[in-house]
Amino acid sequence: MNNNGKTMKWDSAFYQDKHGFVAEYGKELLKYIFDSAPGHILDIGCGTGTLTGIMSGLGHQVTGIDASPDMVLNARNHHPAIDFLVMDACDIPWENTFDIVFSNAVFHWISNQKKLLSSIYRALKPGGKLIAEMGASGNIESIQKAFEAISRQYGYQYQSPFFFPSSTEYGSMLEHAGFHVIFLEEFDRPTPLEEAGDGLKNWIRQFFANDLEHFTPEICNAIIRDVEETLKGKLWNGTRWIADYRRLRIIAEKPVP
Ligand code: BEZ
């Protein structure tokens, strides 16, 4: 058995409570927005709208899109003055519309990267920029390896739903889609998980939810306990779990013809 490529179910309240660090780290990416003149920004995978709200507060006209209706509902409730839409990032309907397409921690969820990049390229104005960050090659490697090995002992074949490219690989994909690459950097970003001792458990329950659905609650608990045991020497610092995140930061321009 495997997860059959099912889409992720997002509980926006649980996500904001237990994984708020995603938007916190995303604030680092906003430094590239601080330098930009007020313009029209598309925030892909806006989630509950934390970063969209900050960009709007900086004077930009911002539209947030997310594939999850629950996230969009939550974002609208928090930021009623901003446009939030449920939308597939591979099928953005606008052309030559945005000065910036922004995205934090979302691209690695999208399997059709060719479609994603051409959708973004179309949506940007000539001279417009893609400013994004995603998981890089080696991201969460030890967590995936441990989960794969332990769930296999229970007859399950874990297949990673994520796309974590190297900078070389993604650079050529961007160029192939027509972009001029301005900046592309891969780096380690060890990430403390929230809720101390429960951090890894919460993370696994959120992000491997489709895989865990195949097991009884007792077996889920046993798998999580064994993953924790396996990773304790590597990811537990004595007070918190530190996930082995690696990031790929991207700035690319749609050339002016
Ligand atoms: C990430 O942001 O790198 C990530 C988050 C959840 C699952 C996989 C990767």
pLDDT band at 14 (very low <50, low <70, confident <90, very high): low
Q: Is 149 helix (H, G, I), strand (E, B) or coil?
A: helix
- What is the model's pLDDT at position 20? 63
Distance between the two ends of the chain, CA-based, in angstroms?
50
Query: Interior CA angle at 163 toward 162 and 168, to 5°?
Result: 160
Q: For ligand 1, say whether the CB of 109 is within 6 Å of any of its atoms.
A: no
Contact in structure between 225 and 201 (CB atoms under 8 Å): no
Domain that holds residue 188: 12-139+162-193+244-253
- What is the model's pLDDT at position 2? 42
Structure tokens at 232: 């304790």
Q: 């950097």: which residue's tokens?
A: 185
The number of domains in the chain is 1
Please indicate, yes or no, if residue 105 is contained in any of the structural domains.
yes
Please indicate, yes or no, if residue 87 is contained in any of the structural domains.
yes
Give the C-alpha separation, 163 to 147, whole Å. Answer: 17
Q: How far is the CA of 105 from the centre of ligand 1 (A)?
A: 7
- CATH number of 86's domain: 3.40.50.150
Tell me the best of 106, 164, 207 to mutate to test the pocket of ligand 1, counting ligand atoms within 8 Å of each CB and taking the most. 207
- What is the model's pLDDT at position 196? 85
- What is the model's pLDDT at position 3? 45
Structure tokens at 163: 């796309």
Please indicate, yes or no, if residue 209 is contained in any of the structural domains.
no
Task: Using the predicted structure, report yes or no on whether residue 4 has a pLDDT greater than 50.
Answer: no
Q: How far is the CA of 126 from the centre of ligand 1 (A)?
A: 31
Q: What is the mean pLDDT of residues 120-127?
A: 98
Q: How far is the CA of 174 from the centre of ligand 1 (A)?
A: 21
| Weakest-pLDDT range from 24-38, 78-92, 145-159, 215-229 | 24-38
85 DSSP β-pair partners: 65
Please indicate, yes or no, if residue 172 is contained in any of the structural domains.
yes
Residue 90: how many CB atoms within 10 A of its CB? 17
pLDDT tens digits, 236-252: 999 999 999 999 999 99
pLDDT band at 25 (very low <50, low <70, confident <90, very high): confident
Give the C-alpha separation, 124 to 115, whole Å. Answer: 14
Q: What is the mean pLDDT of residues 74-89?
A: 97
Whether pTM > 0.75 for this model: the answer is: yes
* HSE-CB for 226 with a 13 A CA cutoff: 16
Q: For ligand 1, say whether the CB of 162 is within 6 Å of any of its atoms.
A: yes
Task: Using the predicted structure, report yes or no on whether residue 33 has a pLDDT greater than 90.
Answer: yes
